[in-house]
Amino acid sequence: MNNESNSYFSVRHRFSAYLSPWPENQPLPSESELKGMLPLGLQLISEVKAMEANCLLQLRNLDDEARTVVDYLKLQSRKIDLVLQYVLEQQPNEGDKCIGQQFGGSGIQIIGDTQLELGKQYRVTLHIKDALLSMLCIAQCISSTPMSGSGNQQAGFESELEFSQILDEDIEQLVKASLNVQQKQLQQRKKDNQNKSR
């Protein structure tokens, strides 16, 4: 993982994450080993996304008359993504389920029932439903603090993880998704402000 990813923008947004500790005596996987670790469903969605991106890139060169075809193909692509995402969410995931609350190209912030160990590596499976993203990566815990609940009740632990090993295409997808989510949030805020001023 290169240091340039540390400067990636992140956005607050809910998603699902599944964490399991990476064995301490085992070196981190290489990029090709990480690809080999992908469950069949994640491999499938990864290949579909890559084909989609390549195809849409070529379609951009078409003239305005072809825009209807392009829009139709985007709709078909989205339908396939939705079905794949649904199927993936039904599959059993390895690790403890956590609630994601922030993501970006360099890492994630989650809420879980247990405190994570600082400096420890975790195998992480992410499902960001609104962005139709699912991926597998290795991330290191850089902070894990207790959250205060109502009264004396423990509300869980807020943890921040930085990606240690992640596929380049997944970083690209996360960056695009974070920008899209931010754009939607800004549009919603603008709409809410307009409604208030009426």
Number of neighbouring beta carbons within 10 Å of residue 107: 26
Q: Which residues contact 99 (CB under 8 A, 6 or more apart)?
A: 14, 15, 16, 17, 110, 111, 112
Task: Kindly report the backbone phi and psi dihedral angles of residue 155, in degrees, each rounded to the nearest multiple of 5, phi listed first.
Answer: -100, 10
Q: What is the mean pLDDT of each run of 10 residues along the chain (198 residues)?
A: 59 95 95 89 76 71 70 75 70 87 96 95 92 91 87 80 94 91 88 81
The domains located in the chain, with CATH, are 11-39+91-197 (2.40.10.220)
Q: What is the pLDDT of residue 1?
A: 46
Q: What is the pLDDT of residue 63?
A: 66
Q: What is the pLDDT of residue 73?
A: 74
Q: What is the pLDDT of residue 3?
A: 43
Q: What is the pLDDT of residue 190?
A: 87
